[in-house]
Structure 1
Amino acid sequence: MRHWVIFKLTLLLIIFITPLLTPNWGFSYENIKVLGFVILVSVIVLEYALNKKRPQLRWSRVSAISLLFLLSLSLSSILGVKPPSSIMGEAPYYQGLIFYIYLFVFSLLVGISGISIRQWVVVLSLSSLLVSVFSIKDYLLLHLFQIYTPTYADRVVSTFGQPNFYAGFILLTLPLTSYLFKSPRNFIRLLGYLSLILGSLAIIASESRVTSGLLLIFLLTWLIIRAPKIVGLTLAFFLGFISATYFWINLSTQGWDQTWLIRNAPERRLLFMPTLLEVSKKSLLVGYGLENIGVAYQRHFQEMNFNTLNDPLAHALKNLQVDRSHSYLLDILLFSGILGLVSYLGLVVILIFKTKSQLPLLSSLMIYLIWTQLHNQSVVHLIYFWWLVGVVSQEAT
């Protein structure tokens, strides 16, 4: 019994502490999170092995197709252009094959944990709330008191190193607060409302247009569903009008010619995505292996004769350092080809099917799927996805 309690507490600790880990001992934001995750999962595996009364691992269609996805990543990484990098992972993301194996093991352990969805959400919301508080604190220090705080492109980063990363994590947790509003305990309901309010403010502080736009859609939907009809529709209208005006003014002050796109991120992804699609066609079946997008991208331009090529866009693109496409589907196609993409899409379809009766889980999953087609993702977002795989697998058995 004692081993099993430690087992559950360590699982909960993973999703609580990993988003909060910050650079220490020479490790970067992402590196320290990967290291912490790997250590804690290793501890859980040890606890599981020592528990003589441990439950047996259960296999469902969810876990089976997730294993198929992992096998496709393994094949492409071993046969790819740079196997050591694919297996170990490389800066800045450290999302190599070993990390994916740990993610898969983590999902299996979540699937047999017996932890209720409300317990998971309480811990996730506490972690998200702290990330929100840190980001709001940093925003006030930077802009109100003019006190230095770590930034990325003059935007606060909280505990993630990039504003888009922390904003995306908070956004994923907001739909799950619906589980907390139904609790009979005042503290749990208060946690839900604080997470929703401070999380929304923290996302605005991140200055992430995509995440703020998705937040707007979520809040409009939430207001319409939860508030009385007239009040909800009125609030939704004013919120939508104010936000649409802000986004229109913001976009109208920026040029959209190729020169502007090349100089500015993240919009320049619109220019190198077609190039990455061309790169993917050269190894369409099995891809190039994890962490090898940059190598494949540079090889594509090395095959060109720039002495006779009078395309200024191509000259500009060849000097970009591209290690992700800002679209996870395209990343998977480049990592593991058609085999990996088909298995991943199969996993996504079955997750959607299994969560269709649980609106908060489905909403969070849909936000993840949309957000990761518009942004690179932190290791925390991957941990969230595989946590969801485990939760759905537990429900399916």
Structure 2
Amino acid sequence: MKKFKKISLYIFFGLMALSLLTPFWAFRDLLFPYITSKAFFFRIAVELAFPFYLFLAFIDKNLRPKLKNPLNLTVLVFLAINIITAFTGVNFFRSIWGNFERMGGVYYLLHLVLFYFYIQLLGQAGSWYLKRFLQSFIAVASLVALNGIVGWLGGPVLVLDPSLPVRVSSTFGNPIFFASYLMLPLFLAAYFAVQEASLGKRIVYGIAAMVQMVGVYSSGTRGAAVGLLVGLFLGLIIYIALTKKPKLRRWSLSAIAILVIAAGLLYSNYDKLAPGSTLSRLVNLRDRNTEARLIQWKIAYEGFKDSPLVGVGPENYYVIFDSHYEPALYEYDASWFDKPHNFILEVLVTNGIFGFLVYFAMFGLAFFAFWRAFKFELLGLLEMCLLAAGLIAYQVQNLFVFDTVSAGVAFYAFMGLAAYMWVESKVGEGETEVSFVKATSPVFPLSIFAVFAAVALYLVYITNIASLEASKRINFGFAYTDHDPKVAAQYFEDAFKLPFNIDLRESVGRYSDFANALAVNGPSQGLEEQFVRSQLETATGKLREIAEQVKNDPLLWSRLATNEMNMALLFTQDFSQASTTIEQTISLAPKRTELLQLRLQLYGNNQNWSSALETAREITNLNSYNSRLQWQLAMVEYLSGNMEAAVAEGDRGVEMGYNFNSLQEFAWYIQYYQEKQDYPRVAKLLERAIELEPKETGLYAELALTYAEIGDVEKAILLAKQVSASDPSFSAQM
């Protein structure tokens, strides 16, 4: 039994070390590869470690979690609140499993909580295991940062970094996610640099911290920069308050003064920095992105007031965003946000006030754990201040970002260290540990191991491999849409045959997009009508089934409405079902113009121009920042027979910067100004028309005559000669 225990501990440690490699993975075959790859890898590692954890905890009481530890209890309470609010929330399935784009939810949190307790077992098994684990954590973070920096400098990278050359995201695909992950290992590296007695090791850890600091800077992420500054500032304040060395206190005060002055000067003079530079981006807090975030936070607060006690459930912020949408956001960002880009606020609106308070209790108790460790001399003052500064920096940057898989791993690793410090300080306080209790027979513990090993393997397949394979097949199907639609259809069909899929919404949505692409392009691709109709009907049926289950997802309903309109246009000519679905869609997000566009399209298909005009006006009232929508209103006014109103709206659209996409959409506009003999305006319009239709000789002829009317004889003669040479039939006119 002792030998098996030793082997189990080694394997367990190996799996834990393996889980730290999570940030490296980005498999391009998957949907959202920078997210799903990391999440599936981490979850599989945690699940494989689970039977070893149970076995070790069962045979050795010293390795069991200390439930008297208030930090452990708080972490478990936070998990319990997430489970409860998943049941009371508005979308249970999404709350439990999350989706491919974010990979969050209760199931993800459960893995983080297990990971947290796994770390404590490593510490309880021996400080060597925990130290090596944390050293591995620092090494991985440093390599990830170094990979990003090398790419920033023009060197080779492990995976494609889509943020280069302006910003760096390394293996994360998003600079914000990259910086968020580095926050805690950066301070952990600084902690080890201070703790180590060996100068060589101090230098190594110091270099690791600096590499990660440069990684954060190269990401150009303001939230992380603010977090670092606030963390360092408050860490110094704590150090000054507690140090007994006057000289160090004076130096620390000087450092704070320099920090404050430098930050103040940069912030107040951001407009004097090179536009677009990393430093300019970091210190400019008055840009459009900041304005958009403030509006998002206002939306989140309005949603919180609807359900303050239990929130809407994990991963369900989208319901708040859609129902409380502020059209002012169209000026900055028209995206459909499923996160408020403020993790603290997200906890409040999804888990309610109780979840919010418990989350902050976790933070407070972790901070107190480091304080206790300092009081019982497990930590030096500077070590404690660095760890506390890391916690503060992480939570401050959370005000500007949402949780991600790798950042969650980093946070719960840090929390695990705090819990270990708490236990160790209790020992220092005089609490005795339970001695090793040997099992009387190896049969029972080995039986437990065998059972839970089977359970773990089943979970690895059903909740990870199956969904991973579904993600891959859906992605392949979507990729083959234009290349070979029938192969694409087979990929989609195979994906839906898998036993489990955590994100049917995204999968069916991609299939729906494929089917709609067939509806538009099928005839030109020579596809049989029966094949196109079959795919569209199947996609519509699947969408209807999921939409009826969820009921509160406007994007899902809008896809269904689009499918039903295409079915009516191509096959049935009956728009009644599409009309009902469109109204259901709009009711879920009444201030989103994208949904009102569906109603406008329906009225246009039915040539109901009076209703179309009313809807087009409603759209521009909600979003007065979009020149395309302004021109759309002009077109509807024109089709409604209101020429003067059409021209007035068209003028407004052109003034807003609308750039015509086809001659057909503004031929009437040219004709109107020709009749009004506004030749300077006609010349500009004809010049744009020629850009769109360069082979249309008649346009050149009209432009030559227009130049003549303006009095630009030189241009008129030159263009007339070109027209006559190109097409002699215009010679007399020229």
**TM-score interval for Structure 1 and Structure 2 normalised by the shorter chain:** 0.7 to 0.9
Partner of 1:329: 344
Cα distance change of structure 1 residues 178 and 269 upon mapping to structure 2, 3 Å threshold:
same
Mean Cα displacement is larger for which, 67-76 or 196-205?
196-205
| Cα-Cα RMSD | 3.4
Q: 1:14, CA displacement in angstroms? A: 2.0
Q: State the TM-score, normalizing by the size of structure 1.
A: 0.83
Partner of 2:579: none
Equivalence map 1:285-300=2 (5 Å): 285-300=309-324
* Number of residue pairs aligned between Structure 1 and Structure 2: 378
Cα distance change of structure 1 residues 355 and 230 upon mapping to structure 2, 3 Å threshold:
closer
Mean Cα displacement is larger for which, 159-168 or 66-75?
159-168
Cα distance change of structure 1 residues 203 and 326 upon mapping to structure 2, 3 Å threshold:
same
Select 1:3's aligned residue among 8, 29, 34.
Answer: 8
Cα distance change of structure 1 residues 346 and 228 upon mapping to structure 2, 3 Å threshold:
closer
Contact 2:227 2:392 in 1 (8 A): no
Select 1:58's aligned residue among 55, 58, 66.
Answer: 66
Contact 2:115 2:412 in 1 (8 A): yes
Partner of 2:182: 170
Cα distance change of structure 1 residues 235 and 107 upon mapping to structure 2, 3 Å threshold:
closer
Deviations 1:67-96 (A, max 9, x none): 111111111112211111111112422111
Select 1:381's aligned residue among 397, 407, 413.
Answer: 407
Partner of 1:37: 42
Deviations 1:9-68 (A, max 9, x none): 3223323x1222233431521211111111111111122245473433331211112111
Structure number with higher helix proportion = 2
Select 2:26's aligned residue among 22, 28, 52.
Answer: 22
Of structures 1 and 2, the one scoring higher in RCO (CA 8 A, sep 6+) is 1
Q: How many Å separate the matches in 2 of 1:235 and 1:337?
A: 40
Contact 1:122 1:180 in 2 (8 A): no
Partner of 2:136: 123
Q: How many Å separate the matches in 1 of 2:349 and 2:164?
A: 27
Partner of 2:193: 180
Q: 3-state DSSP class of the match of 2:289?
A: coil
Contact 2:86 2:92 in 1 (8 A): yes
Q: 1:178, CA displacement in angstroms? A: 2.2
1:103 aligns with 2:115: no
Partner of 1:249: 269
Equivalence map 1:1-397=2 (5 Å): 1-15=6-20, 17-27=21-31, 28-51=33-56, 53-54=59-60, 55-59=63-67, 60-114=69-123, 116=127, 118-141=131-154, 149-151=161-163, 154-176=166-188, 177-216=190-229, 244-250=264-270, 264-301=288-325, 313=328, 319-356=334-371, 357=374, 358-397=384-423
Q: How many Å separate the matches in 1 of 2:135 and 2:54?
A: 27
Cα distance change of structure 1 residues 234 and 66 upon mapping to structure 2, 3 Å threshold:
closer
Structure 1 spans left out of the alignment, 5+ residues:
143-147, 255-260, 302-310
Cα distance change of structure 1 residues 40 and 82 upon mapping to structure 2, 3 Å threshold:
same
Mean Cα displacement is larger for which, 236-245 or 317-326?
236-245
Identity %: 22
Q: 3-state DSSP class of the match of 2:182?
A: helix
Deviations 1:135-194 (A, max 9, x none): 11111118xxxxx84217942211112112212222322222222333234553232111
Q: How many Å separate the matches in 1 of 2:249 and 2:53?
A: 50
Q: How many Å separate the matches in 2 of 1:210 and 1:79?
A: 32
Letter in 2 for 1:333: L
Cα distance change of structure 1 residues 92 and 265 upon mapping to structure 2, 3 Å threshold:
farther
Q: 3-state DSSP class of the match of 1:156?
A: coil
Cα distance change of structure 1 residues 376 and 152 upon mapping to structure 2, 3 Å threshold:
farther
Mean Cα displacement is larger for which, 279-288 or 54-63?
54-63
Q: 3-state DSSP class of the match of 1:373?
A: helix
Cα distance change of structure 1 residues 231 and 361 upon mapping to structure 2, 3 Å threshold:
closer
Q: State the TM-score, normalizing by the size of structure 2.
A: 0.47
Q: How many Å separate the matches in 2 of 1:213 and 1:342?
A: 23
